[in-house]
Amino acid sequence: MESIFLLILVFLAILAAVDLFVGVSNDAVNFLNSAVGSRIAPFKVVLGVAAVGVLLGATFSGGMMEIARSGVFHPSMFSFSDVIAIYFAVMVTDVLLLNVFNKMGLPTSTTVSIVFELLGAAAGVAINRLIQNGESALGFGAYINDSKALGMISAILVSVVVAFLAGVIVQWITRVIFTFRYDRLFKKLGGIYGGFSLAMIFYFLVMKGASGASFMTPEMMQFLDTNTWPILGVLFIGSTVLMQLGLILFNLNIFKIVILAGTFALAFAFAGNDLVNFVGVPIAALDSAHIFEAAGAGASASTFTMAGLEQAIPAPTALLLLSGVIMVITLFTSKSARHVIETSVNLSSSAAGEKEQFGATLPGRIVVKGAMKFGAFLTSVLPKPFLKFLASRFEPKPVEKGEDVLPFDYIRASLNLIVSAILIASATSLKLPLSTTYVTFMVAMGSSFADRAWDRETAVYRVSGVITVISGWFVTAFSAFVAAAIAATLVLKGGEVVSVLLMVIAIAVIVKTNFWPNKVEEAEKERIRLTDRDGIRTMLDHEIPRHFDNASELYGAMVYGFLNDDERTL
């Protein structure tokens, strides 16, 4: 094998480690925000539970690795050098894009990134080959696995609606049953709630996801398939009885068990579904090298086709475990992860006001206005006794003096985790690279909507935040496709020189973004640290009049708009 290919393989291995760090920093919010928002346990305990879930879930992700090998393009149509160019372009583009989005503090989808980068790089190489061979553009379809690619993209898009509706329906039904004053009823039904939650988590994670585990044997799979219902029945009855006894005898906090189990489950499902986004491409490149090496010394990198990638190749368990270890280290060390968690928790919070991080937008106002009119219509047609009953079930619990209001309570936190884990694990069992960011974010939005957390004052900001984040994901898809296509074309045209240059650029950006101190941020921290009482008073004297003048202007314009019924001014 030529030295340039060996260099690229080593470089892809390094990028895989960096991609794991950057990707987990971006996606940690997916399985941590509910436990963090409910404050059910200390942050380090939540991280520890999630770390165990990530580590074990990584070993269940082997079945997803075929997405990088043959899920987007037909490898038999590409040579070894073409496939390496595709994988190289994908990894360079992926790390650079995720660094940009992480620094913006905006949750994005690593699944959207990797799928569209694979699609863009394969399209770029295919177009170049068609032009080089003088073939018609009609031959482009033979290079792309359009049925699988469209299936994955459709699943990602449909998951937005499914996740939101699932969050709304499950949260609404559960809230009607338990209300916000759930303490008394939960003493009677808490064991059933906990037992059912644990049984569902076990079923979708282990029973449905076992086929993707790198260590599962056909005999073990057969045993699970044959004994599914007996296993679930024993687990449900046993956990229900134990938790109900613990609740009665020792005042056991079942919510703590359910939320931490849900955190474990969602971290497990995240690793099982999303690990392919970080290491799937480097592992596929390594598989390609093994296939090419097995062909012997007479094989040419530019003519040897990679049909072998279409075969079922088991993912190495050691590499999956090593990836899990890197993800765990990232959870405990990444500051970017905590910033993204804060963004998501605030958007799905039950509290209104000062923590909203997105401004009002025109689409957000249109959606809220339409929803208010629809709500008014439902209020006019539904029976008043039924509306009164619903209002009593959704009446918030009074806040005691000095009590710190949680972003969301234990009921919503546990359901966010369980519903998200079930949806993601179900997609993993179907070998669909579902976007964990899409699912967890929209489930949280749906449950907060069902809980009537979107009041008149905050609804516009929340809807605008959702639109902003989702728009960012679609921008990611377009950017990933175009950037990967350009990168693949540059590699094909420029050869070794361009490949080495892209390596240098990628490493420079990674070092500067993650390890080089930001002079502006450091200077601001130093300025604040060194400011004494007199300096603070001087800054207040300067800033307060300016903000007071702005507030007076806004108030005057508001009064004018109301008096003149001027909606545009308002």
As to burial, measured by CB atoms within 10 angstroms (0-12 exposed, 13-18 middle, 19+ buried), residue 316 is middle
- If pLDDT is split at 50, 70 and 90, which confidence band does 119 have? very high
pLDDT at 488 (0 to 100): 92
β-partners of residue 73 are: 144
Contact 239, 232 (CB under 8 A): no
- CA–CA–CA angle 324, 317, 218 (5° rounding): 125
Going by C-alpha positions, the residue among 462, 460, 458 that lies closest to residue 445 is 462
Distance in angstroms (rounded) separating the CA atoms of residues 143 and 82: 12
How crowded is the C-beta side of 272, counted as CA atoms within 13 Å? 34
Q: Give the residues across from 77 on adjacent strands.
A: none
pLDDT at 127: 92
Higher pLDDT, 124 or 352: 124
Q: What is the pLDDT of residue 102?
A: 62
Per-residue pLDDT reduced to its tens digit, 173-194 = 999 988 888 888 888 888 999 9
Q: What is the 3-state secondary structure (H, E, C) of 42-58?
A: CHHHHHHHHHHHHHHHH
C-alpha pair distances (Å), 430 with each of 150, 382, 442: 15, 41, 21
Residue 533: what pLDDT? Answer: 61
Cβ(41)–Cβ(532) under 8 Å?
no
pLDDT one-digit tens code per residue, 460-495: 777 777 777 677 778 888 888 999 999 999 998 888
Q: Rounded to whole angstroms, how far apart are CA atoms 160 and 440?
A: 9
pLDDT band at 354 (very low <50, low <70, confident <90, very high): very low
- What average pLDDT does the segment 196-214 reach? 77
pLDDT at 347 over 60: no
pLDDT for res 20? 83
| pLDDT value of residue 337 | 61
pLDDT class for 83, splitting at 50, 70, 90?
very high
The average pLDDT across 27-55 equals: 81
Q: Give residue 553's pLDDT.
A: 86
Are the C-beta atoms of residues 105 and 339 closer than 8 Å to each other? yes
pLDDT of 238 above 90: yes
Q: Please give the model's pTM, rounded to 2 decimal places.
A: 0.77
What is the Cα–Cα distance from 506 to 508, expressed in whole angstroms?
A: 5
* Average pLDDT score over residue span 118-130: 92
Residue 39 clears pLDDT 70, i.e. is over it: yes
Give pLDDT tens digits for 519-539.
Answer: 555 554 455 444 556 666 777
Label residue 353 by pLDDT band (50, 70, 90).
very low
For residue 500, pLDDT over 70 is answered with yes
Q: In this predicted structure, what is the pLDDT of residue 481?
A: 92
User: Does the pLDDT of residue 286 top 70, yes or no?
Assistant: yes
- What confidence score (pLDDT) does residue 352 get? 46
Average pLDDT, whole number, for the chain?
A: 81
- Do 203 and 425 touch, CB atoms closer than 8 A? no
> Over 60: is that where the pLDDT of 451 sits?
yes
pLDDT of residue 402: 62
Question: Which one has a higher pLDDT value, 226 or 351?
Answer: 226
Read off the pLDDT of each residue in 430-448 and give the average, rounded to a whole number: 82
Task: Find the mean pLDDT for residues 69-98.
Answer: 88
Averaged pLDDT, 375-398: 86
Q: How far apart are CA 188 and CA 183, in angstroms?
A: 9
How large is the average pLDDT for residues 44-50?
87
Copy the structure tokens of residue 467: 């639109």
- Higher pLDDT residue, 34 or 237? 237
What residue has token string 């032009």? 131
